Structure 1
């Protein structure tokens, strides 16, 4: 028993903490920032104002996380985010391929709680910032659950709050709304009719029941469904994120009027459900109930803070290369009308670039403050560019960038502005790539510290045997193959069949920009006469002037089929000139106005387990999987496969790195293939595989004859092995014991 006498007043307790880095905001961006900084040796405090991590990806909102892969609906091949963001998505696939949002919460919480050097404060909101001059020194936060104030002092601060709480309270320069078209020359800049901000959305789940379920709408539910101009798109089968366009609030203050926006969205959701249940238009909804409705909205846009570079539309569409490129995006420029669900405009206006674009470090810190890093959806970007960079996997990738940047700033005694300068930023770029973060058109310098390499075998593409299945050429189909500078493609023999004799045109297409997978050029073509079932030789009178991927593209031809194989190869893919309705309206990007964007065809892969590969023979064999590839520092198929793959009949594959003199080894980072083209949306959609087939699931690492590590049940593309004490060795040997079912591929072994 405790008895407390009356007093004049009481005060809640205060805890004082100190950190090298304070991260405010526990969405994917903030979590990745905190994990990266802690892994690089900083003491980190992560403050999150919600009971779970993940932000819009959490079980509170339940929006699936996505990024440059864009639901596999654009031309960004092998573009899934790497590093910690990739680790999260791969871990979620392993534990939660069904897409349960509560399980995704668990994945994120487990990562944070198991990370040494990271202190996590949930249910804690920052409300006060102290600074000296242009330097933030301390924040104060409050947790209403344990009735405790926290004061946290730190050397560096990272704002990942979405609304920019730290930057706002510290007085940093920021913007809201859209720039006028004239300011930056952005032709997609919206006018007042379309609106200047993106709104919020609330999602809901439904489920089938054994019998009829009545629904009585609340008093505040929308009464007239025709107030929603797009109401005829509603069906009883739509669920969750399919109704992302139930959006509102873009003309309000999306920070200070968030509660008004939430109530309007509840009004809309319950009005929509009332329409589905009680209008009589959906008799199949009689045995349905609404299982979950979000208690908080998913917020898209509020404040954007100013750094030394303002990312703009041209950076994205032109794929401008920045000297300080540290990350990339690939989602479309995706702008929504400010009136949301009540707008007569379409729910979104989406335009894709021809490939991924890079994001400069100069957009990831405040130019107003000396020690405030920015990540997530408040980075230095115009409203138009924000429409692409705002998606969660891109934000998570940016989080790792600023976390590792904070560690470098501490060790090198630099401000973020200093680190962004040409003489310093290369260190950050190398550090990111050494940890498995791919940066388009950049590479890691000497990843194996001067080693030579040899392998038990190297894959050569000679024959992919038929499996008895056929693919109708009902739509344009293409095989993506790498070709080296100065070489011709080999002759390719394909098995085709047709019920009646007819010609089939096969074209050789290529991209103008190195690293893109959007065909701009027609290099050559040939026509084969298909009659019955027979082999046909395809050859082109063309020699490549550079390393690149080319498309062997088959015209759509009703009545013609191509034989398929069971073999799938890393760095080779079949794509179709098709439509993904989630991110595009046509099989070709078409601009219905002068928006300053390109028009081009979409060439899309199919999702697991529906990917296909044509059976073929190559003469001479295609040599694209050399062991020497692991030394070039390129972490993805870009212009070439950039990977070593052993021969298909090698039952004991291994690869060895050797040095003439003993090498001091502190850490080994293995970067291997885990199907970087496979979109791993975090929740709702579900996935076929828990581990993608090329992944090496069981391997051993040897230093000379000493076993360093044996890893079983691996499901990650980036596998790090840190040694407690440095080891001197003449060689490192990787022994591959099992994959998830397909041929493995190694991009790099980064040694430090």
Structure 2
């Protein structure tokens, strides 16, 4: 029993003081990825989240799917899904939760954090104040947990604000912005005017389900009465749910921090009014047995404060794909701005303009220019309103925050401040450490000097020579233009034989295309066009191009649409090989071609995008000379995904026991062998609602054995589904080499390894 007598003075809450190396405020994708990355480097982290679950907008409280550079497979950014911890989380979720249950995704995030012994997690805990030792130095943050009535004081030499609204940076006095910059300030031609609005609003969603008996619905008094107040009401579908209603948005003309509760009530008004319309208007059939299963209780926020760092990203950095010496990640979502009136606007619910490829993101945008020991992460990083339209999405924020976690680990180890990373070659150290964990910073490979594999001889039992994509698939109707994306050699004159079926005598136009930039996958350059007169029926055509690639890069063997023609496809799939189509994906404003209005600083170009499995088979063809881009020499080049070239060793499917042998002239002390495998970086892996066709991507090397040269087994792996596999020895082993014995993932997909890291 606890009993206390009357106190004349006020009582104080229980107070707990925690000390750590890095205090992170905010448990969305950014905070989670930063915390895990830092913790795995030995950094003591306190992760403070003001909600009962992790994930922020991706959590079961909001239920927005995680997306980034892959953009629903609706842009030209091939193999661009974010790597490292962000990829690990999405691949784990695919394995456990291919149907996209947001509640299950909560558990995936929670497990990842709880598994890290260096993370102290505080859920339901809201940071409300900071203390400073000087104008530019934070000493601690103060937080309160209403569930256990406990106050926390968290002290650290380093702080990361990933809170969304930037409570730590705000309380610390850091410079910030809300709203849109003028065109003149940064020369951004797409900067919106006042009529469009300066802020993106909040959104809330609902889920519905069918039951086995009629369910009535009586709308609450506050529900929207006139559905025509929503200009897009005819776009409402009775079976739509969750973030398919992303356009249920409101608040862009309000204070998106302090007016959040008011915005929430307005969104509830919309949701219950929409459900009343679905159930009771008579406009929909077969809704009698439908009921509401879930309605969001907190809004998903898009935009509020953005804090000023050592560099502010702008529109030109995104569209022109600017490069940076301090690049730590890539982005690729469109510049995606929404009208401030949201669901009540007569304008398009969003305006998305894509770049021709991915763009680099600099470290400086994550370092506060005002507070010496403060990192910025998530949507509050240093970017203009226009650039923020691309950098704000969750896969990008989580991906970038990994750089914050790694930088904090370096700062902890070497007693540095965040800005010091830019000096004394530390940025290269940061980049390499990130890449070793799978970051794949564009144009920055793993440093060859840090990989002992580059001192070894690598022998493969076989190497794919792509002379044929077998003719064992379906017939694909050429109602839309299609292309086979292939890694071609500079100046080589290729010949392709394809099987076609014509319903009647007709003409087929075939083009060889490529990209202006060798690492892009926008085929805006037409190198050659050929025309074929087809007879009715099945036939083989031979395409002999007299022009070659200007350099080693991907080319597009392109078949222009003809409704009377079908192409034979193949069941075989290969890493770094894709078919793409000039189709439509309205989810990301892709109508087959981007045609911006004049003078907004955005390019006009066509979209050539893959189809999701099980569709999207490769186009069957014989290729002469055979493409020899899959050699074991790719191992050790520092790239862990396709980037301009395949960058992988791929075995021949006829090789029943694909094997790699690594040997050194003299024995080396090896503490770690790390394999970088293929998790299909082209597939978006939306975290919730969307659903996916498989639990393990078909390119993944699932089963393999690593042995020393004497035949002793070092590691046996069965049923792997993750991209990065690490064999770490308790004590370094002296090895003169090792052997990897692999199994093909399936009869239609050969064994593939992108990189082997030995150290």
Q: Name the TM-score class by shorter chain.
A: over 0.9
Q: 2:564 aligns with which of 546, 559, 564?
A: 559
For residue 472 of structure 2, give the secondary structure of its aligned residue in structure 1. strand
Counterpart-to-counterpart distance in 2, 1:257 and 1:498: 61
For residue 244 of structure 2, give the secondary structure of its aligned residue in structure 1. helix
Moved more, 314-323 or 125-134: 125-134
For residue 697 of structure 1, give the secondary structure of its aligned residue in structure 2. coil
> Hey, what does 1:697 align to over in structure 2?
702
Contact 1:194 1:338 in 2 (8 A): yes
Contact 2:199 2:303 in 1 (8 A): yes
> Hey, what does 1:679 align to over in structure 2?
684
Q: 2:223 aligns with which of 215, 221, 244?
A: 221
For residue 232 of structure 1, give the secondary structure of its aligned residue in structure 2. helix
User: In structure 2, do the counterparts of structure 1 residues 544 and 387 end up closer, same or farther at CA, with 3 Å as the change threshold?
Assistant: same
For residue 702 of structure 2, give the secondary structure of its aligned residue in structure 1. strand
> Hey, what does 1:312 align to over in structure 2?
314
Counterpart-to-counterpart distance in 1, 2:473 and 2:631: 31
Contact 1:669 1:721 in 2 (8 A): yes
> Hey, what does 1:289 align to over in structure 2?
291
Contact 2:335 2:389 in 1 (8 A): yes
Counterpart-to-counterpart distance in 2, 1:116 and 1:475: 52
Contact 1:13 1:149 in 2 (8 A): yes
Q: What is the Cα deviation at residue 451 of structure 1?
A: 2.4
Structure 2: runs of 5 or more not aligned:
none
Moved more, 179-188 or 727-736: 727-736
For residue 458 of structure 1, give the secondary structure of its aligned residue in structure 2. coil
- Map 1:723-742 to 2 at 5 A: 723-739=729-745, 742=749
For residue 402 of structure 1, give the secondary structure of its aligned residue in structure 2. helix
For residue 277 of structure 1, give the secondary structure of its aligned residue in structure 2. helix
For residue 696 of structure 1, give the secondary structure of its aligned residue in structure 2. coil
State the number of aligned residues.
751
Moved more, 299-308 or 581-590: 581-590
For residue 729 of structure 2, give the secondary structure of its aligned residue in structure 1. strand
- Kindly indicate whether residue 693 of structure 2 is the aligned counterpart of residue 688 of structure 1: yes
Q: 1:366 aligns with which of 343, 346, 368?
A: 368
> Hey, what does 1:24 align to over in structure 2?
25
TM-score of the superposition, structure 2-length normalised?
A: 0.97
> Hey, what does 1:345 align to over in structure 2?
347
> Hey, what does 1:497 align to over in structure 2?
501
- Kindly indicate whether residue 756 of structure 2 is the aligned counterpart of residue 749 of structure 1: yes
User: In structure 2, do the counterparts of structure 1 residues 300 and 740 end up closer, same or farther at CA, with 3 Å as the change threshold?
Assistant: farther
Q: What is the Cα deviation at residue 735 of structure 1?
A: 1.9
Contact 1:455 1:654 in 2 (8 A): yes
For residue 558 of structure 2, give the secondary structure of its aligned residue in structure 1. strand
- Kindly indicate whether residue 95 of structure 2 is the aligned counterpart of residue 94 of structure 1: yes
Q: What is the Cα deviation at residue 464 of structure 1?
A: 2.8
Moved more, 677-686 or 215-224: 215-224
Counterpart-to-counterpart distance in 2, 1:587 and 1:690: 30
For residue 688 of structure 2, give the secondary structure of its aligned residue in structure 1. coil
Q: What is the Cα deviation at residue 450 of structure 1?
A: 2.4
- Kindly indicate whether residue 125 of structure 2 is the aligned counterpart of residue 124 of structure 1: yes
Counterpart-to-counterpart distance in 2, 1:413 and 1:613: 52
Counterpart-to-counterpart distance in 2, 1:330 and 1:150: 38
Instruction: Spell out structure 1 runs of 4+ moving beyond 3 A.
Output: 1-9, 703-706
Q: What is the Cα deviation at residue 662 of structure 1?
A: 2.1
Counterpart-to-counterpart distance in 2, 1:468 and 1:64: 32
Contact 2:658 2:751 in 1 (8 A): no
For residue 478 of structure 1, give the secondary structure of its aligned residue in structure 2. strand
For residue 523 of structure 2, give the secondary structure of its aligned residue in structure 1. coil
Contact 1:691 1:740 in 2 (8 A): no
> Hey, what does 2:167 align to over in structure 1?
165
Cα deviation, 1:116-137, whole Å, max 9, x if unaligned, reads: 2111111111112112221212
Q: What is the Cα deviation at residue 612 of structure 1?
A: 1.2
For residue 300 of structure 1, give the secondary structure of its aligned residue in structure 2. coil
> Hey, what does 2:39 align to over in structure 1?
38
> Hey, what does 1:408 align to over in structure 2?
410
- Map 1:119-268 to 2 at 5 A: 119-133=120-134, 134-268=136-270
For residue 668 of structure 1, give the secondary structure of its aligned residue in structure 2. strand
Q: What is the Cα deviation at residue 486 of structure 1?
A: 4.1
For residue 619 of structure 2, give the secondary structure of its aligned residue in structure 1. coil
Q: 1:584 aligns with which of 557, 572, 589?
A: 589
Q: What is the Cα deviation at residue 424 of structure 1?
A: 2.3
> Hey, what does 2:53 align to over in structure 1?
52
Structure 1: runs of 5 or more not aligned:
none
Q: What is the Cα deviation at residue 3 of structure 1?
A: 3.6
Counterpart-to-counterpart distance in 1, 2:423 and 2:307: 20
- Map 1:334-733 to 2 at 5 A: 334-421=336-423, 423-446=425-448, 447=451, 448-467=453-472, 469-489=474-494, 491-531=495-535, 532-705=537-710, 706-733=712-739
Counterpart-to-counterpart distance in 1, 2:555 and 2:663: 34
Counterpart-to-counterpart distance in 1, 2:714 and 2:132: 47
Moved more, 147-156 or 68-77: 147-156
For residue 271 of structure 1, give the secondary structure of its aligned residue in structure 2. helix
